[in-house]
Amino acid sequence: MNTVPAQDNKAHLLEMTDNEFTQLSTFVKSRYGIDLTQKRTLIQGRLTHDLRSRGINSFQEYFKLLNNDPSGTEITNLLNRLTTNLSYFLRENEHFDFMTKVMLPHWEQTVRDHDLRIWSAGCSAGQEAYTAQMVMHDYFGARKNVWDTTILATDISAKAMNKAKSGIYTFDELKDIPAEWKSKYFQKAGADSLQVCDKIRKEVVFRTLNLMDDFHFKRQFHLIFCRNVMIYFDTQTKKELVKKFYEWTAPGGYFFISHSESLNSLGSQFKYIHPAIYQKQV
């Protein structure tokens, strides 16, 4: 039971001076592109409990730990607290419908080497990438064995990556999945959980990757998902990132963002196709 009256919550927050807040937000912005400027109270709230429970009683003390963190654990934990890993299977299903009705039939006719390259950037615990893989299995059916549809799925959060790799989700997390998919693409894991079946898990490769880093791949992608990720970034960071996504999209390839985001005012060369769907012209 929470014994702290609501009006006292603020008083229980660990004190953070303007200077300390600037120090933290500048550090997070420069390394991870995450814009905390409007989130001071939220951050103070999220970090106060963690730090107090570890016997850390000031942000100065905490910064010393952050600046002397050779294993990277401290920074990873901080990022886990600052970002929201909310995701679910079949989220914004319009994208998966578009894959089935437009993209996959087109690729089936045009991709000669049968190698589809898809990247889920900011994939959280893997639901987006696994959904896309299941959609492709449904579409190709028996023809799937001649297609390489391995998906690259990346996120900055080590915690999310570990869950994604395990492929284990509770019944509650899977409540919106059709029964047919549960029996086709999942296997029993525990008393209240299922695991994505081996066949699908093997076709999603998870990697920890900071989108603020200089990333390089062997080839461009036919499709990049970056949904509900850029919401953390300021306009300049978004502009630079979308430009990098454009470079890594193959001519004719697609770029998906979430329906609550837009590329308007980012000066991108991507062509608008449908809400939250963009394409690089051939």
Ligand X SMILES: C[S@@+](CC[C@H](N)C(=O)[O-])C[C@H]1O[C@@H](n2cnc3c(N)ncnc32)[C@H](O)[C@@H]1O
Residue-wise DSSP of 167-219: TEEETGGGTTS-HHHHHHHEEEEETTEEEE-HHHHTTEEEEE--TTS----SS
Residue 135: C-alpha distances to residues 56, 73, 96, 147, 269 (Å) = 47, 35, 7, 14, 28
**Alpha carbon distance 168, 158 (integer Å):** 16
Q: How far is the CB of 94 from ligand X (least distance, A)?
A: 13
Interface with ligand X, residue 16, by CB under 6 A: no
Interface with ligand X, residue 275, by CB under 6 A: no
Secondary structure (3-state) at 22? helix
Sign of CA dihedral 219, 93, 125, 264: positive
What is the contact mask toward ligand X in residues 135 to 164, using x (rule: CB under 6 A)? --------------------xxx--x----
The torsion angles phi and psi of 93, rounded to 5 degrees, stand at -60, -20
Number of residues in contact with ligand X under rule CB under 6 A: 25
Interface with ligand X, residue 133, by CB under 6 A: no
In terms of CB distance, is 14 or 99 closer to ligand X? 99
Closest CA to 223 of 279, 269, 262: 279
In terms of CB distance, is 33 or 167 closer to ligand X? 33
Interface with ligand X, residue 203, by CB under 6 A: no
Interface with ligand X, residue 131, by CB under 6 A: no
In terms of CB distance, is 211 or 242 closer to ligand X? 211
Other CB atoms within 10 Å distance of the CB of residue 29: 18
Of 71, 84, 110, 264, the one binding ligand X (CB under 6 A) is: 84
Q: 46 to 75, contacts with ligand X by CB under 6 A?
A: none
In terms of CB distance, is 74 or 108 closer to ligand X? 74
The torsion angles phi and psi of 145, rounded to 5 degrees, stand at -65, -15
Interface with ligand X, residue 249, by CB under 6 A: no
Taking CB atoms, the residue at the shortest distance from ligand X is 87
Residues at the site binding ligand X, with contacts judged by CB under 6 A: 32-34, 83-87, 91, 122-124, 128, 155-157, 160, 210-212, 227-229, 232, 258
